[in-house]
Amino acid sequence: MSNTGNGLKSNDSSRPREPIASPYMPKYPDPMSNISNFKIIESTLREGEQFANAFFDTAKKVEIAKALDAIGVDYLELTSPAASEQSLNDCRVISSLGLKAKILTHVRCHMDDAKLAIESGVDGLDVVIGTSSFLREFSHGKDMDYITQKAIEVITYIKSKGLEVRFSTEDSFRSDLVDLLSIYKAVDKIGVTRVGIADTVGCANPRQVYELVRTLRSVVSCDIECHFHNDTGCAIANAYTALEAGATHIDTSVLGIGERNGITPLGGLLARMYTADKEFVMNKYDLTKIRDVENIVADSVEVTVPFNNYITGYCAFTHKAGIHAKAILNNPSTYEILNPHDFGMNRYVSIGHRLTGWNAVKNRVEQLNLGLTDEDAKHVTQKIKELADVRPLSLDDVDTLLRAYHQAKDQGLHGEVLNKIATPDMIATINAAHEK
């Protein structure tokens, strides 16, 4: 046993490592939980292609694949080669890039699709078929015996070619539990690499996810992959809960793009998992690269990164209220669960508004190296609050006030300088006066 430096003992490396002590983790470790031992199947180049605005040509797919590989995602999932001639070609191109991530393609449970996919050079196949009564009745019209027999045939064939193979049902949460467990059991028995659960319609909640994954965990010995749509806002929570219950792989896409409003977003999942086991996440993934791939994808599909996006939203690390700003400046952990620097981002304390506080203003004084006292900072802060009741000030406005105050102090005219400025627009006159 060696001490890892975080106060916990770590066992020999053959065992999955235990999570570091964190107030956000269960008090007693659960041996079935994979919160500290999960893999990401990044599906921007498959699920993401189903986003309304998405069209990735080969060069763009290669750019996205490389950017995702730089983060360190475990797998890239690509559109089925059966979809189109170009999709087949893209599988070939990306498989030959020599990326660290394994390349998968997502195919229907069909021999023709499987054969074509195997020829494309990918490392593995994600096979899918619908098992819900809705899909059986209104989509493919097949019964469970037929589906099971077909799955066994296709999986056996893929395995015989030496590729990894996942078998997933579609719309799993609206499928009959007995049907689901019996087909998963059957494919586990013949050595499938992973079984997959898909919340294709985004209807599941974390409690249902926990129960289904836990039940499945006791029925199969293979890995368990989960795919969550975000129609009702549970995609990240469901992914996290699935890992707690024993799932091993989570599907994501950049910015969550996909069919309808998409799936678990890569950045959001990483933020969640960082909070649970920072050491595992930071050792495995390069979090500073999330912004790059989000920008590439956002540009390509012609959307902007949402203002409230996990990690990269423009206000994700902006602190505004005076009380928060003071505490943040003393110790960022007071109001920050994610350290912006771990994600290649910066913290920003907003000060030009009426909720501001003198500690934050004093901090700006120090950044500008103006050497004003606490009393001075309080004095200017009162003025900022007064002006910001009219409209918020820019950081430039605040800086101008502080510099003017500092300059006038030598002649003892600092009080007058502030008194002369009755409205926010008058701050510009100080600048004009300086320029003369």
Whichever of 47 and 223 has its CB closer to Zn ion, that residue is: 47
CA–CA gap between residue 223 and residue 221 (Å, rounded) = 7
Residues 103-134 as b or e (16 or more Cβ within 10 Å = b)? bbbbbbbbeebbbbbbebebebbbbbbbbbee
Task: Write out the residues near Zn ion by the rule CB under 5 A.
Answer: 47
Whichever of 262 and 424 has its CB closer to Zn ion, that residue is: 262
Q: How far is the CB of 43 from Zn ion (least distance, A)?
A: 8
Whichever of 48 and 424 has its CB closer to Zn ion, that residue is: 48
CA–CA gap between residue 129 and residue 277 (Å, rounded) = 34
Q: How far is the CB of 4 from Zn ion (least distance, A)?
A: 38
Q: How far is the CB of 277 from Zn ion (least distance, A)?
A: 26
At residue 263, φ and ψ (nearest 5 deg) are -125, -170
DSSP-assigned states of every residue in 351-403:
-SSTT--HHHHHHHHHHTT----HHHHHHHHHHHHHHHTTSPPPHHHHHHHHH
Whichever of 225 and 397 has its CB closer to Zn ion, that residue is: 225
Cβ 352 vs Cβ 394: under 8 Å: yes
Dihedral angle of Cα 318, 321, 392, 313, to the nearest 10 degrees: 20
Strands (E) located in 177-222 = 194-199
Whichever of 106 and 136 has its CB closer to Zn ion, that residue is: 106
Residues 58-88 as b or e (16 or more Cβ within 10 Å = b)? eebbbbbbebbbbbebbbbbbbbbbbeeebb
Whichever of 140 and 420 has its CB closer to Zn ion, that residue is: 140
CA–CA gap between residue 426 and residue 84 (Å, rounded) = 63
Q: How far is the CB of 262 from Zn ion (least distance, A)?
A: 8
Q: Could you give the C-alpha distances from 16 to 19, 21, 30, 215, in angstroms and in order?
A: 9, 15, 12, 22
Q: How far is the CB of 46 from Zn ion (least distance, A)?
A: 8
Whichever of 47 and 49 has its CB closer to Zn ion, that residue is: 47
Find the residue with minimal CB distance to Zn ion: 47
Q: How far is the CB of 258 from Zn ion (least distance, A)?
A: 5
CA–CA gap between residue 329 and residue 217 (Å, rounded) = 46
CA–CA gap between residue 175 and residue 112 (Å, rounded) = 26
Catalytic residue among 106, 229, 319, 324: 324
CA–CA gap between residue 364 and residue 274 (Å, rounded) = 30
Residue 414 annotated among the catalytic residues of the structure: no
Q: How far is the CB of 266 from Zn ion (least distance, A)?
A: 14
Known catalytic residues are 324
